[in-house]
Amino acid sequence: MEQTHLFSRLIAFFKKKDDGTVRETISELIADDESGEKPSLNDEEREIFSNILRLQEMTVEDVMVPRADMVALSIDATFEEALELMQTKNYSRFPVYAEKMDDIRGFVHIKDIANVRSAKDFDCRKLMCRVLFVPTSMPVIDLLSKMRQEQIPFAIVVDEYGGTDGVVTTWDILREILGDMHEAEHEDMTAKFVKEKEGSYLADARYPIDALETELGVSLIDGEAEEEVDTLGGLVLYLAGRVPDRKEVIEHPAGYEFEVVEATPRTLLEIRISKKDTSAGTSA
């Protein structure tokens, strides 16, 4: 079944139920599909609708990138500073702050930075777009609706005193809806793997595990892990048994250390790989 037909059926449900909720509508669609002899939803479509149902229970705090992990640009930044941030961080939009992170003024898109003709023409104030300011307790579904109404894809999450708690974009919400499809969509993309110094590398979490083993010349997975681990990020999650915090170091028995450089509360983004220093002796 094509996606267009799937969403046509969903729209038809909405039209039939003037007083129905999104939850009831999608639940009915899934129930009808599961009760049929020939299911009309494939696994990916069923996952999307199930994730939408789950989203109904989530608040902004559940999906935001916390303040400690935010990458922001000073309103007085130079063109060179903006370019460096754009080239070294894996984001398309950056919040812009005045004197401190509790004073967010807007956000800039990397395409607007790239379109600046010369350094003397660069001014963050002229490139800034509006942001939404929302509390941590706001339901994610309400935020998504507000983003669509206001045509603003970027929200700053604030605490009760107006301080910055984190940031949420439409893409953060979309990832919750797409689930595993998001990972599959990106697994064939070229992932970064950069040698920093002898025995140290910086890589995207989605870097393929077989390519990593080839680069390092060691075997990093075996047994049942071979069925579960496809990427560097997956390996670190497997070793830790959870999503590690930013700057946390996870050790591998083969003598390597994995430092989490960039991450969201649910996803590893960038990892530093280093050969463990054994000069002080081998630990028991």
Q: What is the pLDDT of residues 66-83, one digit of tens each?
A: 998 899 999 999 998 998
Q: Which of 238, 236, 226, 229 is nearest to 256 (CA)?
A: 236
In the chain, CATH 3.30.465.10 sits at 190-275
7 pLDDT band (50/70/90 cuts)?
A: very low
Task: Give residue 241's Cα distance to chain centre.
Answer: 19
With bands split at pLDDT 50, 70 and 90, how would you rate the model's confidence at 101? very high
Pairing of strands 154-158, 200-204: unpaired
CATH 3.10.580.10 segments of the chain: 61-178
In tens, the pLDDT along 199-240 reads 789 998 888 888 888 888 888 987 666 667 888 988 998 898
Token pair 């700057």 in the structure block, residue: 247
* pLDDT score of 128: 95
- In CATH terms, the superfamily for domain 61-178 is CBS-domain (3.10.580.10)
Distance CA 255, CA 274 (A): 9
Q: With a cut of 90, say whether residue 130 has pLDDT above it.
A: yes
pTM assigned to the model:
0.54
Among 28-42, 73-87, 137-151, 187-201, where is mean pLDDT lowest? 28-42
Residue 209, H or E segment: helix 209-216
Give pLDDT, residue 187. Answer: 44
The residues, ordered by sequence, that sit 6+ positions from 89 with a Cβ below 8 Å of its Cβ are: 71, 262
β pairing state of 93-97 and 132-135: unpaired
Task: Compute the 3-state secondary structure of the chain and give helix, strand, coil in percent, each to the nearest 5.
Answer: 40, 25, 35
> Residue 107 pLDDT > 90, yes or no?
yes
pLDDT of 18: 43
Q: What is the mean pLDDT of the chain?
A: 79
pLDDT band at 258 (very low <50, low <70, confident <90, very high): very high
- Helices vs strands, H then E, count in the chain: 13, 12
pLDDT at residue 84, rounded to an integer: 83
pLDDT on residue 282: 45
Rounded to 5 degrees, φ, ψ at 35 are -85, -15
Q: Tell me, which fold does domain 190-275 have in CATH?
A: 3.30.465
Please tell me whether residue 263 adopts helix, strand or coil conformation. Answer: strand
DSSP secondary-structure letter at 262? E
